[in-house]
Structure 1
Amino acid sequence: MNTIEVGSSEHRRTSISMLLGSIVTFAVLYSPQPLISLFSKQYHISPATAGASVSLATIGLAIGLVIVSAVSDRVDRKLLMSLSLLTTSLLAILSAFTEQFSLFLVIRFLEGISIAGFPSIAMAFLNEEFHPSAMGRVIGIYVAGTSIGGFFGRIVIGALTDLFNWQIALMMLGALSLLFSLYFWRNLPASRNFTPGKTSLHQWEAGLKHNFTQRKLLGLFLTAFLLMGVYIMILNYIGYPLTSKPYNLSQTVFGFLFVVNLLGTCSSVWFGKLADRHPRQYVIALAIGILLLGVLLTLSTVLFLKILGVALVAFGFFAAHSVASGWVGIVAGRKYKAQASALYLLFYYGGSSLVGWSGGLFFHQFGWNGMIAYAGVLLVLAILVSRLAASSPRTQYAHGSSVH
């Protein structure tokens, strides 16, 4: 196999390209999050409707993952990822010129579908083009880009919205994303070890039947659905209390709140090591407990405690996600690992869409306290559901993790 040599010019070009690609993907995906409360004020819409600017993109991403999985083994890896990034960037620019919020939501949904072509293919490309001994460092670059992208998009949008308005902010983010995407297209080395193939409908159906009849896998899928949903719910709607009296945070200051997401890099590594040494069901329960504590702290009227609560939400979520996502590959086995991982992401982003959106309904009807009660119930349910994956002794100690 003709793999990319570590330290070569191709290695540097690939690393930079994958870093920029993941920044584009996650910056665009989460860019409207700090603007949700602003959308409610400007368009006189409910929190749930404003929150759909994120939820529709993630449900589009979930649908896109299904579509891409059906064609990914037939289309060149670089071509598919490049088209995904370029289309996403152009749609981000287009979204800045919409005056009707309903049209903005349609574009956000299309962005979600177009985004799916990058994260679903990136890991496969890296695994094919690099020697296994180099995977740690190249995957680390990719994962760093996912964290930086989500942070970068939220911070830039918040600051530029204060300086200009949210339309100009999105247009500038889209233009920068387009430049990054063009660099990716021009500089990422072509696939050398990809061989187009076909997956029969029978094989696809057999994989689905296997994965959906495994109680342990279902437990992990549902855990991802609930955890991602609660995490996005808190981040979507925390802007309402923080940008209102008595805090009155500006969009710039509020945007910097999302620096707490960088805690996920630390917690995912730390809890990954804990899962190597202790039973996974206890490690994930501890992570969910930290997430729950963070959710409850947001009930405080003290600004510091509220922000600390959001930080613990991010810390606990990424810790639990790291354990759960690694657990999926172990439970599924080698033959069905790829499809099981895709289904995990489908539930993961489905939770972001449906649970995240439904939190806005609770917030609108019952206020922040009512929404937090709803989140608390879902997290207790997540602890119970995650125990479905704990019935096999062989899954207790082995570890593998990924952050998306």
Structure 2
Amino acid sequence: MADGDFGRVRIEPAGQGAAEPGTTYLVAGTPAYKRASRILFVAGFSTFAALYCVQPLMPEFTREFGVTPAQSSLALSVSTGVLAFALLVAGAVSDRFGRKAIMALSLLASGTLGISGAMAPDWASLLLVRALEGMALSGLPAVAMAYVSEEVDPRSAGVTMGLYIGGTALGGMSGRALTALVADVASWRMAMGVIGTLGIAAALAVWFALPASRNFQRRPAGMRELAEAWRGHLMDRGLLALFAMGFLSMGAFVTVFNYIGFRLLAPPFDLRPAAVGAVFTVYLCGVVSSPLFGGLAVRLGRGRVLAAAAAMMAAGLALMTPDSLWTMVPGIALFTFAFFGVHTIASGWIGQRAPVNRGQASAIYLFCYYMGSTIAGTLGGVFWYAFGWAGVGGFVGLLLAVGLIVSLGLAVRR
């Protein structure tokens, strides 16, 4: 039995929604499934650590480069903006050339660029490196989602997707907390260099340990084929609603975390940078909630659980309103817990609803997801500058209200 086969089973068709004859899946509990889950966790961890490591460093950027808080958010927004568009190409490339190699190359390039960013001499150079890093990172998220939908037994795919997103949650937390800590005791440059090194290590793990694809079917990647794939996905109202949920939920999430640091560093809190970084440990809630919500969605229905998670995000935002750590920290935790639930359900639903061109369907979802981060995250700076946290809270509340309406529509449509 070849490497990567151990832990797979051959599935024969047994009615509607069954696999094609001869399909082999990674089955929960087997060595190959466990190895794939671990490596996807590591890949998600590294990707989001690299992407979001600059978030707690924004006050450092304002001091060193003399930029405004809204301008400092460009260190994240330029990466997510480029990432959003590059994902559309990355999905097509992976549909043509396969999944595993693209993921490994993505992590290797992003890690190398992260180390380069640590040596940027000025603000323009840092933004250029961050834009290139966003392009490099595009080879992981959509491709990982497609890999799960193709290679993992559909009965276990929700949990596997939850584990992958749990890795992104832990990576997001670790990237923020670690960079805040290292920046406090050393420098922001050292912090970015450490995250870049982790990316290179993750690339090696994917290349040498992730089970090879067995169900991947090569597809043409010309402009006509891409246009046909996009047209088919964009005519599906259910997929459109899921794309909207990605935009709205991520826009709300990134806006909160972009400006919560500025709020906590200022009166009446006056926290040190390392203490602000410690707040990001609430990302551990995502490590728990992602597989939890993935399992609940299978048992109770994706639409119902998605709507409940969206309502929980709104409740968490409300708890962040008072100027008290006693309500703010639980509010951030609930908000984070629910966000990763929304993302787990929506991203897993994409692969199940789009039976063909899954790489492109995942890419469109993530395009909307990261455009939410880019557009809302930057607009949040305008509201922060004009109205403080009240403005940020009102803006995020509007995004969540629309998201709740969309999720309720999905619950009815199923």
TM-score, structure 2 as length reference:
0.83
| CA–CA separation in structure 1 for the residues paired with 2:207 and 2:246 | 32
Which is further off, 372-381 or 230-239?
372-381
Structure 1 contact 20–180 (Cα < 8 Å) conserved: yes
Q: Tell me, yes or no, if structure 1 residue 304 matches structure 2 residue 305.
A: no
Check the 8 A contact 1:65/1:342 in 2, yes or no: yes
Judged with a 3 Å threshold, the aligned counterparts in structure 2 of structure 1 residues 197 and 267 are, in CA distance, closer, same or farther, namely: closer
> Is the 8 Å Cα contact of residues 94 and 359 (structure 2) preserved in structure 1?
no
CA distance in 1, matches of 2:404, 2:160: 33
**Maintained 8 Å contact 1:20/1:181:** no
Matched, 1:84 2:100: no
Distance 2:181 2:371 in 1: 29
Corresponding letter in the other structure for 2:394:
A
Q: Is contact 1:215–1:388 with CA below 8 Å preserved after alignment? A: no
Are 1:225 and 2:226 counterparts? no
Partner-residue secondary structure (3-state), 1:73? helix
User: Are the counterparts in 1 of residues 161 and 291 from structure 2 also a CA contact under 8 Å?
Assistant: no
Structure 2 CA distance for partners of 1:363 and 1:270, relative to 1, 3 Å = same
Structure 1 pair 17–250 and aligned structure 2 pair: CA distance change class (3 A) = same
Shift of 1:10: 7.0
| Structure-1 separation of matches of 2:370 and 2:188 | 25
CA contact (8 A) 1:90 1:178 kept: yes
Distance 1:14 1:256, change over 3 A: same
Determine if contact 1:95/1:108 at 8 Å carries over to the other structure: yes
Counterpart amino acid of residue 113 in structure 1: M
The DSSP-based 3-state class of the residue aligned with 1:74 is: helix
Q: Please give the alpha-carbon distance, in whole angstroms, between the structure 1 residues aligned to 2:371 and 2:308.
A: 24
1:178–1:340 Cα change, 3 Å: closer
Q: Is the 8 A contact 2:145 2:351 kept in 1?
A: no
Shift of 1:11: 7.0
How far the C-alpha of 1:139 sits from its partner, in A, is 5.4
1:389 deviation in Å?
A: 3.0
Residues 239-254 of structure 1: pairs in structure 2 closer than 5 A: 239-254=261-276
Q: Which amino acid aligns with 1:306?
A: M
Higher mean alpha-carbon deviation, 180-189 vs 131-140, is at 131-140
The Cα offsets for residues 231-264 of structure 1, whole Å up to 9 and x where unpaired, read as 1100111000112233222222211211212212
Match of 1:70 in 2: 92
Structure 1's unaligned 5+ residue stretches are 396-404
Counterpart among 22, 33, 53 of residue 31 in structure 1: 53
Residues 140, 164 of structure 1: CA spacing in aligned structure 2 closer, same or farther, 3 A cutoff? Answer: same
Normalised TM-score (structure 1): 0.85
2:48 and 2:344 map into 1 onto residues whose CA distance is 18
Render the CA deviation track for 1:67-100: whole Å, top value 9, x for unaligned. 1122213325333222211110110000011131
In structure 2, the partner of 1:51 is: 73
Identify if the C-alpha distance between structure 1 residues 261 and 319 changes in structure 2 by more than 3 Å, giving closer, same or farther.
same
Show the counterpart of 2:410.
Answer: 389
Q: Among residues 362, 365, 371, which one is paired with 1:344 in the alignment?
A: 365
Query: How far has the Cα of 1:9 moved from its partner?
Result: 8.3
Equivalent residue runs for 1:148-187 within 5 Å = 148-187=170-209
Cα distance, 1:291–1:11 mapped onto 2, change above 3 Å: closer
8 Å contact 1:4–1:129 — kept in the other structure?
A: no
1:37 Cα deviation after fit: 2.5
Distance 1:43 1:381, change over 3 A: same
Q: Distance in 1 between matches of 2:31 and 2:316?
A: 44
For residues 175 and 370 of structure 1, do their structure 2 counterparts lie closer, same or farther at Cα, with a shift above 3 Å needed? same
Task: Report if the CA contact (8 A) 2:142-2:359 is conserved.
Answer: no
Q: CA deviation at 1:13?
A: 6.4
C-alpha separation between the residues in 2 aligned to 1:386 and 1:131?
A: 26
Q: CA deviation at 1:105?
A: 1.3
SS in 1 for 2:79: helix
Deviation of the 1:202 alpha carbon: 4.1
Once the two structures are superposed, residues 332-361 of structure 1 have per-residue CA deviations (whole angstroms, 9 ceiling, x without a partner) of 352465533332221111101111111111
User: CA RMSD, aligned part only?
Assistant: 3.0
- State the number of aligned residues: 392
